[in-house]
Structure 1
């Protein structure tokens, strides 16, 4: 992989992100089943009341989202066919081709209809994952790199937006997830995705080509998806988190290396942890002078900005342009996005 100087060590990161839980956070963590440092962090960011609202939001299941594969069918026809099968759908206002599944019949499930098997739609766990693709691809035509692409929701969406034109290089390291990606490509009859198997950190030395658009949905703690996986309440210790953060810094540095001059990268996590978002991007901005934060090209809905400071660390003012989606505010998974442009 490409070696970048001055990447902080795991111990350096651990010192930066260490947080001492209070008695209140320990009691709340015990009640809801979390590691105490996580709840202490939520209280520092949100205050007590909103923290309780967040913890309660994580206890509620979310409705899946159907994204029409407009390469094969139009969204109105798909709506009619699924309604006839007994599904009740609600169109997502900021994504015309997508519907939230409000209710479903006993059979078939939303992932087992003939329409699904024919590739007419993709099932997302939630609508938040549509956001970075819509922002990155706004009024863009050209080749795209999705560096951590499996299982394929974002890569197939990008290919669909490009109308099966240009090239989408979809890379991932985890083989069983790559099998899902390839399955979705075949099922949805997508013709412009090239699949590679590699550590995203190695791409700059393995691939000569550079891209005008890079999607970087990095492997993370998944802390924003607790409603789908309750085990994430206790899975990531602070030391584990420090290891994840270091890897995210390395992947982001390599993702930037894959950009052309004036190319734009979307840094994405399904985590609400500032350590994996504000801290990672702030560190990379310190290390490089060839990138800048980009204001989103459109306002899809009233999302929240990134934090101004955390644990005594002040972040760049431009973080106001980066996006936080909170489960208790936006009724979606916790997801963050920041757009970065390479300026030289």
Structure 2
């Protein structure tokens, strides 16, 4: 294991420049992160990104349309003092522009009745919308807690499919089950397992799998400033190793022509381009699938980072930047299992 991690570390490490150390000190991020941003975006845009980490991101209400009409819920909450703005690319979600002191968004009667899920921002809606576009069958949510994507998936395939929601961390499973119960979604099966070994739990294949991979969370710095310093480059290499293992093992559970959505709340190419490129280089039975619908102007994944050249198909994958899209940093890549 240690040899594998050191090999990854050697491949992903890029020596920070003097400029990176300067930006690191000024904007309070680790030097390797500052170096990455400059290499990906150029110095001027890297500064825009770093400044965006200081800006709050508006939380989002996703309406549970199994229980309530979006406009009815909007009127009810606005009567309590909320000011809501509909998401332009998804009509059943609203950005909270203003909220009253009481009740908080997570303490309204409507929330307790399961009429909506409270997302930290809109980016997490994207992989579910892409994965379930014109699809109504079963879905495996491999790393499901705390439940935002699981309950959304359950709503999307309601009446036609089940969501098999799995997580490894027991305390997070409690949160998952709590949200499933609160939102009264009945087409969810919950399991407690390491997703790398989940084939021992489910003796079947899936047409759709969501892997919202445990990651550095670097795209969420605006709401969790500790992530500026939390992940050393060695710890990042450990995460990358796990992400490769997760994605590789879950592809084995895909039906032919099935699709897995690989998502992270990280803008790091090490956790995205590098991971998927390793899978494409290792396997001959998988290809990148373009997003089935263009909800808004996404950014593409990059072709090169340091000495690493990534697979050209990765241009089809989606990245959201905080300074461009006004969301968390977030990525999604759709991979299709091909017939051998």
Q: Same fold (TM over 0.5)?
A: yes
How big is the shift at 1:299?
Answer: 0.3
Instruction: Work out whether residues 20 and 37 of structure 1, in 8 Å CA contact, stay in contact via their aligned partners in 2.
Output: yes
How big is the shift at 1:44?
Answer: 0.6
Pick from 6, 9, 12 the counterpart of residue 11 of structure 1: 6
Q: Is 1:66 matched with 2:66?
A: no
Other-structure match for 1:331? 326
Other-structure match for 2:297? 302
Distance in 2 (CA, whole Å) between partners of 1:293 and 1:328 is 26
Distance in 1 (CA, whole Å) between partners of 2:315 and 2:279 is 17
1:69-148 → structure 2 map (5 Å cutoff): 69-148=64-143
Instruction: Work out whether residues 159 and 165 of structure 1, in 8 Å CA contact, stay in contact via their aligned partners in 2.
Output: no
Q: Deviations over 1:288-323 (max 9, x none)?
A: 000000010000100100001111222222111100
Instruction: Work out whether residues 291 and 341 of structure 1, in 8 Å CA contact, stay in contact via their aligned partners in 2.
Output: yes
Q: Is 1:239 matched with 2:226?
A: no
Residue aligned with 1:116, SS: helix
Q: 1:65 to 1:232 in 2, by over 3 A?
A: same
After superposing the two structures, state which structure 1 stretch, 268-277 or 311-320, moved more.
Answer: 311-320
Distance in 2 (CA, whole Å) between partners of 1:26 and 1:293 is 36
Other-structure match for 1:221? 216
Q: How many residues align?
A: 339
Structure 2 regions of 5+ residues with no counterpart? Answer: none
Across the aligned residues of Structure 1 and Structure 2, the Cα RMSD in angstroms comes to 1.2
Other-structure match for 1:174? 169
After superposing the two structures, state which structure 1 stretch, 290-299 or 308-317, moved more.
Answer: 308-317
Distance in 2 (CA, whole Å) between partners of 1:113 and 1:205 is 41
Runs (4 or more) in structure 1 with deviation over 3 Å come to none
Instruction: Work out whether residues 136 and 158 of structure 2, in 8 Å CA contact, stay in contact via their aligned partners in 1.
Output: no
Q: TM-score, normalised by structure 1?
A: 0.97
Pick from 260, 263, 287 the counterpart of residue 258 of structure 2: 263
Q: Deviations over 1:108-153 (max 9, x none)?
A: 0000000000000000000000000000000001110000000010
Q: Deviations over 1:148-198 (max 9, x none)?
A: 000010010010111254210000001111111100000001100000000
Instruction: Work out whether residues 165 and 192 of structure 1, in 8 Å CA contact, stay in contact via their aligned partners in 2.
Output: no
Other-structure match for 2:39? 44
Distance in 2 (CA, whole Å) between partners of 1:127 and 1:166 is 24
Instruction: Work out whether residues 63 and 93 of structure 2, in 8 Å CA contact, stay in contact via their aligned partners in 1.
Output: yes
Residue aligned with 1:96, SS: coil
Structure 1 regions of 5+ residues with no counterpart? Answer: 1-5
Instruction: Work out whether residues 271 and 335 of structure 1, in 8 Å CA contact, stay in contact via their aligned partners in 2.
Output: yes
